[in-house]
Amino acid sequence: MDIKNKVHQNIDTIIIGSGAGGLSAAICLSKAGHRVLVLEQHDVPGGWCHSFYLNGHRFSPGVHYIGLLGEGESTRVLYEGLGIANDLVFFRMNPEGYEHCFIGEDRIDLPGNFNDLNTSLAKRFPKEKKRIYHYLKLVRNVSRQIQLIPKINGFWDHITIPYRTKHMGKYAMFSLKRVINWHIKDPLLQKVLNIQWGDHGLAPARASFPLHCAVMGHYFSGGYYPMGGGAAIVKAMTKALQKNGGTIRTGTAVKSILLEGDKKKKAIGVELENGEKIFASRIISNADPGITYLNLVKAQNLSAKLLKKLNKTKYSCSSLMLFLTVDADVRKLGMDSGNIWMMDNRDMDGIYEEMTAVDISIGKVFPGLFVSCTTLKDPTSYDGKYHSLEVITYINPDSFSKFNKESNLRSKEYMEFKELLTCKMINTLERALPGIKDKIIHKELGTPITNKHYVNTTNGNVYGTEKTFRQIGPFAFRAKSEIENLFMCGASIQSHGVAGASYSGVQTAAAILNCRQDDLIKPNELQNIRIFEAEDDSDYPTDIQQKIKVRKARLLSNEKKHDD
C-alpha cells in the first residue's frame, strides 16, 4: 500500500503533541485500556518540557522549577498517580531563597517555606509585618480554594462550594495590582510580592489575582528541579505510556484533522505532512487553540461562535531565551540554586509595557531578566568546571514579525538581529552577575521563531492563551470541543506550567472516560519521589554521588584527549 494512503487500524485515541498535557492524557487513557498513539512534530518528545544539548551541556527551555512536591501535595500526588514517581529525582532549590528578587539595588530572598517567607519579609519590612501575614494568608487561602474546584463531587459539595471558596470568589474579578495595593503599602514590598508575574506573563494591572495566587501558592513549600532536567519528566512519562501499551512517534507532523459527516462535525483521524492518514475513535490536541482549530481543523469547519472566540483570543507574550555555558565559579559571582528575577526599581506595569514594545532593539539593556543556573539546581549535571545558565526576558512576538517566513536557512538580517539582542541580554546579565561576560564560552539565543519551529505555538507564545480575566476559568477553551470526538488539553485549557498542563491532560482523560480527576490520580504507596538538597550533598546516596563522579571524570578524560 502506498504510504500516502496507509491506514492504521485499532487506535482508540490519537494525541497531537507530546507536551506534559498530551503525555498525561495518554498515560491515563492507556492505563484504562485505550490504544493510544502520540504524534510529535519535533524529533524528541516533551514540547516545552524537552531538553537539548549544546556542546555537551544540557538545557531545558520550559522547566525551571516545580512546586508542591511535599508529602500529599498536588504535584507529588500527580506523579504518584501517573505511576512515574519512582523514576523521578528532584533537588530542592536553596530553601533560604528559591527565588532572589533583584530590584534595582535591593536584594530580597524568598524562602521556600510559608512561615519562613512571612518571617523573612516581616524582618525586612517591619512596618508591614501584620499586613504581610494577612496578605500571604489570603494568597494561600485562594490558592487552596482553586485546587478544590476540580474535586467537586455530589450534591453536598455543590451546596458548600461557595463557602469553601469564599476568598477566591470575593477577589475573583480583581487584578493583582488592585488587591496588593489594598493590602501592602510599601512600594518595594509590593514589587517583591508582584515579581512572580513572570510565571504567568502578565503585568500586575492586567493579571487576575486568583491566577497569581495559584502561581505564588504553588511555591509556598519551595521550588524543586528534576535531576536530568525537563527531559527526565518526559522520559518517565513516555516509559509509563509504553508500559501501558501506548506508542509515540516523533518527527511526525500533523497536517490536518480529518472530519466526516455532512457538516464535517466529527473527527475521525489525522493526515500527516507526508500524506499518511491515520484513523482513530477520537483525537486529543495538545496544541494551542489557534493551531488546533485554524491550522488543523480549518476555519470553514468551525461554527460562527467558535470563530468569533478564536478571533478575540489573545496569546501570551513570547520570549528571548539565552543559553550560556560559562567557565566560571558562578557562586562567587552571586549565583546559587535559587532563581533570580531582576527588574528595575520602578512601576512593574511600565516595565511590562517596555518589555513588550514592538521595537526591542532600542537601548543597551532590558528592564527585566530571569536567570537560572541548571548546573547548581541539578548537581549531577555539573562537570566541575562549566556551568549552564538559562537567561530569559519576555517580549512581544511582533518584534519578529518580519522574520515569520524565514526558512530553516536563516537570513543574514535575522542572524544580525539575534546577535544584537544577545549582546543586549548579556549586558543586562552583567548587572546581576558582574564579570560574567568575560567567562562565556558558548552562547545561543532562542527567539519567537525558535519557539514556533520547535514547539509549534501561535506567535511563539510561552504560556498558551493570555491569562487575562476573560480567558481563564469559565471563559477558557474547553477540553471537549464542538467537533464530535475532538478534545483539547494543555496550557490554554486548564492552567499553564508543567503541573498545570499535566493536570489538564488528566482532566481531558477524565472527560473521555466519564469519571473524575481523582478517579485517575490517586495516592500510591508503591510510588515515591526521591528528593535531595541542591545546596547540601551530605545525604546524597551512592547512585547520585556516582553520577557526579562520572560527569567530572568525563570532562577530565576529554580534556586529556584534547591535550594529547
Domain assignment present for 308: no
Q: What is the pLDDT of residues 215-236, one digit of tens each?
A: 999 999 999 999 999 999 999 9
Domain assignment present for 369: no
Stretch (H or E) spanning 327: strand 318-327
Beta bridge partners of 530: 89
**Residue 561 pLDDT level (bands cut at 50, 70, 90):** low
Q: How far apart are CA 221 and CA 140, in angstroms?
A: 11
Distance of CA 452 to the CA centre of its chain: 15
Contact 267, 15 (CB under 8 A): no
On the question of pLDDT at 41 being above 90, the answer is yes
Give the pLDDT score at 169: 60
**Residue 6 pLDDT level (bands cut at 50, 70, 90):** very low
**Residue 524 pLDDT level (bands cut at 50, 70, 90):** confident
Residue written as grid cell 547540601: 536
Write down which residue in 163, 185, 220 finishes a domain.
Answer: 220
Give the pLDDT score at 473: 81
Domain assignment present for 270: no
Q: What is the 3-state secondary structure (H, E, C) of 84-137?
A: CHHHCEEEECCCCCCEEEEECCEEEEECCCHHHHHHHHHHHCHHHHHHHHHHHH
Contact 510, 517 (CB under 8 A): yes
Q: How far apart are CA 144 and CA 122, in angstroms?
A: 23
- The backbone torsions φ and ψ at residue 260, rounded to the nearest 5 degrees and listed phi first, read -140, 175
DSSP symbol at 22: H
**Residue 2 pLDDT level (bands cut at 50, 70, 90):** very low
**Residue 154 pLDDT level (bands cut at 50, 70, 90):** very low
Domain assignment present for 122: yes
Q: What is the pLDDT of residues 131-153, one digit of tens each?
A: 999 999 999 988 887 765 555 45
Residue written as grid cell 470541543: 481
Domain assignment present for 155: yes
On the question of pLDDT at 396 being above 70, the answer is yes
Domain that holds residue 556: 536-563
Share of the chain above pLDDT 90, in %: 83
Q: How far apart are CA 145 and CA 330, in angstroms?
A: 40
Domain assignment present for 211: yes
Domain assignment present for 423: no
Q: Which of 191-195, 205-209, 278-282 has the lowest mean pLDDT?
A: 205-209
State the chain's mean pLDDT as an integer: 91
- Name the domain count of the chain: 2
Question: Residue 357 corresponds to which cell in the numbers above?
Answer: 514594545
Q: What is the pLDDT of residues 85-131, one digit of tens each?
A: 999 999 999 999 999 999 999 999 999 999 999 999 999 999 999 99
Domain assignment present for 174: yes
Give the pLDDT score at 166: 60
Contact 67, 223 (CB under 8 A): yes
